[in-house]
Structure 1
Amino acid sequence: MPARQAILPAVPHALYERHRYSAAIRSGDLLFVSGQVGSREDGTPEPDYEAQVRLAFDNLAAVLAAAGCTFADVVDVTSFHTHPASQFETFLAVREGVLGAPPYPAWTAVGVTWLAGFDAEIKVVARIPDGA
């Protein structure tokens, strides 16, 4: 079994240290990315929902880049939403601009009651390209 390797973005936000977790773990040619939220560098939530979702995708892109990946390498997405009925269309609009053309990754959306002050969280699994 391959050894686990922690991956952190070039500019990690404070949540990783505060809550003691890795942004992602590389195991062989797979990258398991922890849930990314719309956190500013100091760990506080972006208050505007659409901006928070954009920032979550930006944070996710930074973690993917640190492992030599892009959104094209993502094979599975799980998103968590505190108020899915009122947030889902906005989330989908932001997501559409990020994920690009088909084939789309597998995706599961889950409604939750608490995300530590955030309104959305995005967790992915990606396949790391050869040579990355």
Structure 2
Amino acid sequence: MAERDVVFPAGRQALYEKNRYSPAIRSNGFLFVSGQVGSRPDGSPEPDLEAQVRLAFDNLNAILSAASCTFDDVIDVTVVVVDPESKFDPIWKVAQEFWGAAPHPTLT
């Protein structure tokens, strides 16, 4: 059986335990990360879109850091956007700050 470790970012264990899911599981050299949203540390939503996207990437970065990974280690990203025509530009503005230089992850 494969070994599995739960990876928790600092200071958010209670939020994940309350909602009964793992932020990430490390298994056989891979890191499987749960979907990240632009929530504040208390779990409440951030109303400003750019700040929300930045929080989502900050949350993902905290999980990656807790697993001794960086955005350079990310292979695939799934993004769910409501009303992409009006929100695409602000999202990619922030995403590029985190993704850095090519090669970029695949994107769905």
- Structures share fold, TM-score greater than 0.5: yes
CA RMSD of the aligned region, Å?
1.3
Q: Note if contact 1:61-1:71 (Cα within 8 Å) is conserved in structure 2.
A: yes
Structure 1 residue runs of 5 or longer lacking an equivalent are: 109-132
Give aligned-pair identity as a percent. 58
1:69 paired to 2:77: no
**Residue 17 of structure 1 pairs with residue 17 of structure 2:** yes
Pairing of 1:1-132 with structure 2 (within 5 A): 1-12=1-12, 15-108=15-108
Whose helix fraction is larger, Structure 1's or Structure 2's? 2
Higher relative contact order (CA 8 A, sep 6+): 1
Give the TM-score of the pair, scaled to structure 2: 0.93
Q: 1 or 2, which has the higher strand percentage?
A: 1
CA distance in 1, matches of 2:106, 2:48: 27
CA distance in 2, matches of 1:60, 1:38: 10
Equivalenced residue count is 108
Letter of the aligned partner of 1:44 in structure 2?
A: S
TM-score by length of 1: 0.77
Q: Secondary structure at the match of 1:21?
A: coil
- TM superposition shift of 1:8: 0.5
Runs of 4+ in 1 over 2 A off after TM superposition: none
Change (3 A) 1:76 1:61: same
Tell me, which stretches of 5 or more residues in structure 2 are unaligned?
none
